[in-house]
Amino acid sequence: MNDIVISDTTALIILAKSDAFSLLSNLFQKIYILQAVYDELMFKDDIVNYRINAFDRIEVKPVIDMAILERIKMLKIDKGEVEAISLALELNLMLIIDERKGRKIALNQGLKIVGVLGILIENYRQKFLTLDEVKLNFLLFKQQGLGVSEQLEKIFFERLA
């Protein structure tokens, strides 16, 4: 994984609600977010606000290349996803994104992506988590709103084997 990553909103909400930012710290030195993502996060509950503001690896960073931003805006996804994909393209960095449509667009733009489940897998592969801890976090993430189909759940557990 990279030292620096860009993140969209959903993964950070799930990790904040689960008090699981250590999973990001294990893999990344810095997590760039956009102002739109930060604003979305601040509309969540007090726990999310507190944990986001207390996590010292998050940095708000703007998109500079307006041509990329305008091109991605035309793809009809929410503002946070538009900006996150644009910044990842501009800086050529991996993107943490979990929404299906945003993931598809990011991949079509040639970006490397990872979601919350990929972060769990990488923590397991690097021996930061045991298999039991991965399973516990998986259930916790689902409780906190991570949408996972039966097929994706099956694939996730196969990758851990």
In a domain, 140, yes or no: no
What per-residue confidence (pLDDT) applies to 76?
80
Inform me whether the pLDDT recorded for 38 exceeds 80: yes
Residues 6+ apart with CB under 8 A from 56: none
CATH for 13: 3.40.50.1010
Q: Is residue 60 part of a domain?
A: yes
Is 53 a domain residue? yes
Domain of residue 46, residue span: 4-116
In a domain, 156, yes or no: no
Is residue 134 in some structural domain?
no
Question: What's this model's pTM, rounded to 2 decimal places?
Answer: 0.91
- The backbone torsions φ and ψ at residue 47, rounded to the nearest 5 degrees and listed phi first, read -65, -45
Name the least confident of 34-43, 84-93, 103-112: 34-43
**Burial code of 114-148, b = ≥16 C-beta within 10 A, e = fewer?**
bbbbbbbbbbbeeebbeeeebeebbeebeebebeb
Q: What is the pLDDT of residue 27?
A: 96
Does the residue 160 lie in any domain?
Answer: no
Structurally, how many domains does the chain consist of? 1
Residue 79 lies inside a defined structural domain of this protein: yes
For residue 68, name the pLDDT band (cuts at 50, 70, 90). Answer: confident
Are 48 and 22 in contact by the 8 Å Cβ rule? The answer is: no
Going by pLDDT thresholds of 50, 70 and 90, the confidence category of residue 1 is low
Kindly state whether residue 133 falls inside one of the protein's structural domains. no
